Amino acid sequence: MSYKLPLGRKIFIAINIPLLIGIMLLSIVPFVHLLAVSLSSNAAASSGQVKLWPIGFTLDAYQFLGQKAEFIKSLGISVQRVFLGTIINMLLVFLTAYPLSKTNEQFRFRTGYVWFFAVTMFFGGGLIPTYMIVKETGIMNTIWALILPGALNVWNMVMMLNFFRGIPRELEEASKIDGAGHWSILWRVYLPVSLPSIATIGLFTIVGHWNSWFDGMIYMNSPANYPLQTYLATLVTAINVKSITIDDLSALQNLSEKTLRTAQIFLGALPIMLVYPFLQKYFVKGITVGSVKE
Amino acid sequence: MNTRTTNKRRLRAELPLHLMLVPGIIVTLIYAYGPMLGIVMAFQKFKPLLGFFKSEWVGFKNFEYVFNLPDFTQVLWNTFFISIMKIAFGLLIPLILALLLNEITKNWFKRLIQTSIFLPFFLSWAVLGGVLIEIFSLKGPVNGLISAVGVEPIMFMGINEWFVSIIIGSDVWKGMGYNMIIFLAAIVSINANLYEAAEVDGAGKWKQMVHITLPGMAPIIILMCTLSLGGVLNAGFEQILILYNPAVYESADVIDTFVYRLGLFDQQYAPAAAVGLFKSVISVALVSLSYYLAYRLTNYRIF
Q: Which pLDDT does position B247 carry in this prediction?
A: 87
CA-based end-to-end distance of chain B: 37
In 3-state terms, what secondary structure has residue A168?
A: coil
- B57: β partners: B44
Q: Are A131 and B264 in contact (CB < 8 Å)?
A: yes
Selected residue of A15, A128, A213 to mutate for chain B interface (largest B Cβ count, 10 A):
A128
Half-sphere exposure of residue B258: CA atoms within 13 angstroms, side-chain side: 31
Question: A133 and A220 share a domain?
Answer: yes
Question: A17 and A98 share a domain?
Answer: no
Kindly state whether A47 is in contact with chain B, defined as any CB-CB distance less than 8 angstroms. yes
pTM for the predicted model, two decimal places? 0.91
Question: A279 and A136 share a domain?
Answer: yes
Q: Are B126 and A129 in contact (CB < 8 Å)?
A: no
How does residue A182 score in pLDDT terms, banded at 50, 70 and 90? very high
- B45: β partners: B56
How many C-beta neighbours within 10 Å does residue B26 have? 13
Question: A70 and A181 share a domain?
Answer: yes
> What is the complex's ipTM, to 2 decimals?
0.91
Q: Which pLDDT does position A243 carry in this prediction?
A: 33
Kindly state whether B203 is in contact with chain A, defined as any CB-CB distance less than 8 angstroms. no
Separation CA B290–CA B282 (nearest Å) = 12
Residue A146 maps to a domain: yes
Question: A19 and A71 share a domain?
Answer: no
Separation CA A75–CA B104 (nearest Å) = 41
How does residue A294 score in pLDDT terms, banded at 50, 70 and 90? very low
In 3-state terms, what secondary structure has residue A221?
A: coil
Residue A176 maps to a domain: yes
Continuous H helices in A47-109: 60-66, 69-100
* Stretch 39-58 of chain B: residues touching chain A, C-beta under 8 Å: 39, 41, 48, 51-52
Question: Any idea what DSSP says for residue A291?
Answer: -
Question: A68 and A138 share a domain?
Answer: yes
Cβ contact B26:B237 at 8 Å: no
Residue A293 maps to a domain: no
Question: A253 and A176 share a domain?
Answer: yes
Summarised one tens digit per residue, pLDDT across range B128-184 is 999 999 899 888 899 999 998 988 989 898 899 999 999 999 999 999 999 999 999
Q: Which of A48, A109, A229 sits opposite B144 (nearest CB)?
A: A48
Separation CA A283–CA B119 (nearest Å) = 12
How many C-beta neighbours within 10 Å does residue B173 have? 21
Continuous H helices in B154-264: 160-188, 192-200, 205-208, 214-229, 237-243, 249-252, 255-260
Residue A4 has pLDDT above 50, yes or no: yes
Q: Which of B30, B122, B276 sits opposite A126 (nearest CB)?
A: B276
Question: A253 and A126 share a domain?
Answer: yes
Residue A294 maps to a domain: no
Separation CA B281–CA B287 (nearest Å) = 10
Question: A53 and A99 share a domain?
Answer: no
Separation CA B265–CA B244 (nearest Å) = 15
- What average pLDDT does this structure show over A222-230? 94
In degrees and rounded to multiples of 5, residue B38 shows phi and psi of -60, -15
Question: A46 and A83 share a domain?
Answer: no
Question: A81 and A40 share a domain?
Answer: no
Residue A153 maps to a domain: yes
Kindly state whether A267 is in contact with chain B, defined as any CB-CB distance less than 8 angstroms. no
Half-sphere exposure of residue A177: CA atoms within 13 angstroms, side-chain side: 5
Q: Which pLDDT does position A37 carry in this prediction?
A: 93
Sign of CA dihedral B250, B256, B259, B265: negative
Separation CA A286–CA A80 (nearest Å) = 25
* Residue A48 belongs to domain spanning: 1-58
Summarised one tens digit per residue, pLDDT across range A16-62 is 999 999 999 999 999 999 999 999 988 888 888 888 999 999 998 99
Q: Which of B295, B2, B203, B213 is nearest to A6 (CA)?
A: B203
Contacts of A197 (CB under 8 A, 6+ apart): A159, A160, A163
